[in-house]
């Protein structure tokens, strides 16, 4: 997933199709000059539909598609023939996409499975033909029902990455380096904060041909829940992760305090995130000797923790074992 091509938020104008008009036709044949009403119904308009596509990883293909319009239904015809239904507008999206109403913020649906579909904007119904309105007291109704108008709304599509593990840490905590070592992902890596500007996904091979998916989330800073740094934009990707792997570098001034700040940012954004399984990895631990490691262990928060180094690959096997245990 190339950084420049990762799009996780789009706002599009959707318009469902109008229903066709019912027909007010009367039966007219050579030997039946005054036949009864035989007007058919109008066809329904086209729906606007979201469809999950497991081959998509981003909303990039919708970045410049601002208007989605479904087809209108056809009008009813003679001999009670129904008009054709309007063509549905199908929007393919990656798994993990959430749709919301732009004006109200109301949740519409979420797509989590391949080929899953959901109508986000219903079409107008077709009008009834005059055949429906005949009665003993009105045997020749000269009217039919018009089709129902379609709807138009601005819809927000947000992608929340579907990953088993989310990497949580301050900028430059070693998240991208870890992902590049334990998976085939190639995130941008450099020795300065905010190298990662967009989430990256990596598939981690485990024992006996098993695997799990890890998401490298751009670094969090204190105040991220208020929009500071890269802000709220990427915190939503953590919502779908089963396990949160907190990463704090060994040269941090206070590992427990840094962990508490990260935890508080998640709590302020969404308290339900605290219900997820949590692990702590002390990164860059190749800088530590045994005595210093023992001292740091005394200060660690009360969650499963491991000392790792992505450079020397120290502790990575144990880290994978801990993650797999939490996932299963």
Other beta carbons within 10 angstroms of residue 127's beta carbon come to 25
pLDDT at 231: 46
Burial class (CB in 10 A: 0-12, 13-18, 19+), 276: middle
Question: What is the Cα 197 distance to its own chain's centre?
Answer: 18
pLDDT at 76: 94
Please check whether the domain covering 165-327 is classified as CATH 1.10.3720.10.
no
Q: Is the pLDDT of residue 187 over 80?
A: no
pLDDT at 233: 58
46-88, pLDDT tens digit by residue? Answer: 999 999 998 888 888 898 888 999 999 999 998 889 999 999 9
In order, the DSSP letters of 145-171 are PPPPP--EEEEEEEE----SEEEE-ST
The residue with greater pLDDT, 240 or 231, is 240
Q: Is the pLDDT of residue 193 over 90?
A: no
Structural domain boundaries of the chain? Answer: 1-159, 165-327
Contact 267, 274 (CB under 8 A): yes
pLDDT at 268: 85
Shortest CA distance to 9 belongs to which of 172, 231, 291?
231
Instruction: Check: pTM over 0.95? Answer yes or no.
Output: no
The residue with greater pLDDT, 219 or 89, is 89
Determine the average pLDDT of the residues in 221-240. Answer: 59
pLDDT at 24: 92
Q: Is the pLDDT of residue 314 over 60?
A: yes
Strands (E), 9-84: 9-15, 48-52, 67-69
pLDDT at 1: 41
Q: Is the pLDDT of residue 318 over 60?
A: yes
Shortest CA distance to 41 belongs to which of 74, 73, 76, 6?
76
Determine the average pLDDT of the residues in 287-295. Answer: 84
CB proximity list for 275: less than 8 A, separation 6 or greater? none
Residue 2: which pLDDT band, with cuts at 50, 70 and 90? Answer: very low
Q: Is the pLDDT of residue 10 over 80?
A: yes
Homologous superfamily, domain 1-159: GTP1/OBG domain (2.70.210.12)
- Walk across the sheet containing 48-52 and list its strands: 89-93, 48-52, 117-121
């Amino acid at each position: 997933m190339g950084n420049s091509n990762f799009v996780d938020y789009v706002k599009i104008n959707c318009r469902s199709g109008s229903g066709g008009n019912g027909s007010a036709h009367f039966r007219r044949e050579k030997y039946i000059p005054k036949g009864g009403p035989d007007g058919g119904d109008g066809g329904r308009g086209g729906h606007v539909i979201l469809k999950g596509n497991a081959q998509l990883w981003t909303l990039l293909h919708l970045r410049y598609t601002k208007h989605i319009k479904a087809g209108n239904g056809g009008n009813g015809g003679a001999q009670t023939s129904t008009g054709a239904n309007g063509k549905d507008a199908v929007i393919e999206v990656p798994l993990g996409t959430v749709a919301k109403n732009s004006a109200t913020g109301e949740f519409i649906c979420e797509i989590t499975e391949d080929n899953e579909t959901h109508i986000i904007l219903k079409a107008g119904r077709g009008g009834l033909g005059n055949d429906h309105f005949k009665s003993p007291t009105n045997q020749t109704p000269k009217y039919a029902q018009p089709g129902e108008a379609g709807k138009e709304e601005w819809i927000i599509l947000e992608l929340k990455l579907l990953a088993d593990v989310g990497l949580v840490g301050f900028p430059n905590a070693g998240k991208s380096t870890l992902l590049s070592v334990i998976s085939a992902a190639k995130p941008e890596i450099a020795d300065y904060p905010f190298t990662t500007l967009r989430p990256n996904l990596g598939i981690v091979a485990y024992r006996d041909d098993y695997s799990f998916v890890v998401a490298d989330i751009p670094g969090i800073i204190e105040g991220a829940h208020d929009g500071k740094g890269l802000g709220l934009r990427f915190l939503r990707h953590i919502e779908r992760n089963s396990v949160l792997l907190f990463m704090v570098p060994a040269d941090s001034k206070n590992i427990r305090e840094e962990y508490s700040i990260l935890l508080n940012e998640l709590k302020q954004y969404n308290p339900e995130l605290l219900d997820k399984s949590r692990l702590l990895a002390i990164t860059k631990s190749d800088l530590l000797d045994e005595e210093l490691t023992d001292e740091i262990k005394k200060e660690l928060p009360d969650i499963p923790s491991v000392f790792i180094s992505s450079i020397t690959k120290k502790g990575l096997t144990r880290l994978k074992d801990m993650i797999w245990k939490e996932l299963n």
